[in-house]
Structure 1
Amino acid sequence: MTRPQAVVFDLYETLVTEFDPSWQAKPTTADRLGVDADVFERGWRARRDERMTRPIDFREILRDLSPEADDQVIEALYQERLAAKAAPLLNVEQLILDTLGRLKADGLGIGLISNCSTEEVAAWHRSALAPLVDEAVFSYQVGCAKPDPAIYALACRRLGVAPRDAVFVGDGGSDELSGAAACGMRAYCAGWFLDRWPTRRPVDGFRRLGSPAEVLDVLL
């Protein structure tokens, strides 16, 4: 097996976690908008593809779901969402940063692919991850999302490597590991946050890495 030239990471539950209870936003959006919770949830989910693949404003969605909502309430919810989404990006664990630093020092290209909406990564430029990542591909900017093989191919092109010479590491959400494999990349399941906040089981069929340090064992 030849040494890869680049590694592409997922963001959420791979490089950062949103499941730390101290960072969770309180689920009061529907109540504060004066919308039935089930109706809001259905509307929010129905707009997932739109949120992930175009730069739509979070406030625009809220106004669509609740046309009678007060503008001040919508703005407050928007600011709270920005803060909640910034928290994990601004509190990256040192072991993650050390791992990326070591990979860069050894000459590997570092990529990132995230299925995200515009407000979810508004704080990216302030994150300690940003200078360590050579190419960050955000789905809302490029019009496609994992597991579409096109988004992996795009990341590889930006890194200047063929998919066969790149590795993808992610927790497995959005069927991302199968998408990476379909593009021709070697894919590994990031298990460290899955173990800490066990909201779902690791994906079958892919080698599971129990800590960021194991990424070094695989790649170096």
Structure 2
Amino acid sequence: MTAVLFDFSGTLFRIEPTESWLRAALDEAGLALAEAELARAALELERVGALPGGMAPRAPMPDEVAAVWGIRDESAELHRAAYTGLSRLVPLPDPALHDALYDRHMSPAAWQPYPDAAEVLRALRERGVGVGVVSNIGWDLRPVFRAHGLDPYVDVYVLSYEHGVQKPDPRLFKTACTALGVEPRDVLMVGDDRRADGGAAALGCGVHFVDHLPAAQRPDGLRPVLDLVG
């Protein structure tokens, strides 16, 4: 393999827990909830799937959200509309909090690299292996990589909202391969979503899956990539 493509959420980084996400937005807005109410609201936000990168929705979606859910990663506007639409299913003390929650999830502080992410990316760079990040997302994740010191190890970012195409469409993986100057047969795609990230196989890329777990529960899930690359 001459290059490795990585997914972002659930692969290289993990989003903060829902309760921490809500608490940070409340603090930023100068608002407070009783602990029991905060915990209840966090559970409801999790149930409806309002946290991007968090749990998938486990509740019925409003028609207006359902209409864009499948294509939410094709533009920044659709992404925000989908997730704030889910958030608004949960009553909060100020309606402005729904946009504040969305903004919070884009901040570097909301994301934690998996424990072995830096080690693996650094080793790939030392071996001369190209690295790309291919993500279904509605916002610019580059500041997250910069803030956590991982940007120097990434050669190419291919983000769905910047191209109007989302995984598993092979075109997104092809864009990354072209940018890296490599043939798909020489590329390994690493991700946590068998459907979305597995789309790279249609292009001829190798595919390797990791488990989407809290960071503390997956300390070395990325290290097998180094053996696969050789």
User: What's the TM-score once normalised by structure 1's chain length?
Assistant: 0.71
Aligned pair in 2 of structure 1 residues 194, 94: CA closer, same or farther (>3 Å)? closer
Q: SS state of the match for residue 166, structure 2?
A: coil
CA distance, structure 1, for counterparts of residue 78 and residue 200 of structure 2: 29
Q: Which residue of 2 aligns with 1:172?
A: 193
Q: SS state of the match for residue 82, structure 1?
A: helix
Q: SS state of the match for residue 167, structure 1?
A: strand
Q: Which residue of 1 aligns with 2:137?
A: 116
Aligned pair in 2 of structure 1 residues 129, 44: CA closer, same or farther (>3 Å)? farther
Structure 1: which 5+ runs fail to align? 31-36, 67-71, 199-209
Letter in 1 for 2:95: V
Q: Does 1:73 align with 2:125?
A: no
Shift of 1:168: 0.6
Q: How many residues align?
A: 192
How much is the aligned-residue C-alpha RMSD, in angstroms? 3.5
Q: SS state of the match for residue 7, structure 1?
A: strand
Letter in 1 for 2:205: M
CA distance, structure 2, for counterparts of residue 38 and residue 133 of structure 1: 38
Letter in 1 for 2:151: A
Q: SS state of the match for residue 191, structure 1?
A: coil
CA distance, structure 2, for counterparts of residue 212 and residue 181 of structure 1: 19
Q: Does 1:54 align with 2:64?
A: no
Shift of 1:154: 0.5
CA distance, structure 1, for counterparts of residue 124 and residue 7 of structure 2: 16
Aligned pair in 2 of structure 1 residues 161, 46: CA closer, same or farther (>3 Å)? same
- The residue correspondences of 1:80-99 to structure 2 (distance < 5 A) are 80-86=101-107, 90-99=111-120
1:12-68 Cα offsets, whole Å, 9 max, x none, are 1111123745545434599xxxxxx8453x4323212443112317666658x98xx
Q: SS state of the match for residue 178, structure 2?
A: helix
Aligned pair in 2 of structure 1 residues 195, 108: CA closer, same or farther (>3 Å)? same
User: What's the TM-score once normalised by structure 2's chain length?
Assistant: 0.68
| Conserved 8 A contact 2:16-2:112 | no
CA distance, structure 2, for counterparts of residue 215 and residue 172 of structure 1: 16
Q: SS state of the match for residue 47, structure 1?
A: helix
Q: Which residue of 1 aligns with 2:55?
A: none
Shift of 1:138: 0.7
Aligned pair in 2 of structure 1 residues 160, 171: CA closer, same or farther (>3 Å)? same
Q: SS state of the match for residue 208, structure 2?
A: strand
Structure 2: which 5+ runs fail to align? 23-41, 49-58, 89-93
| Conserved 8 A contact 2:15-2:111 | no
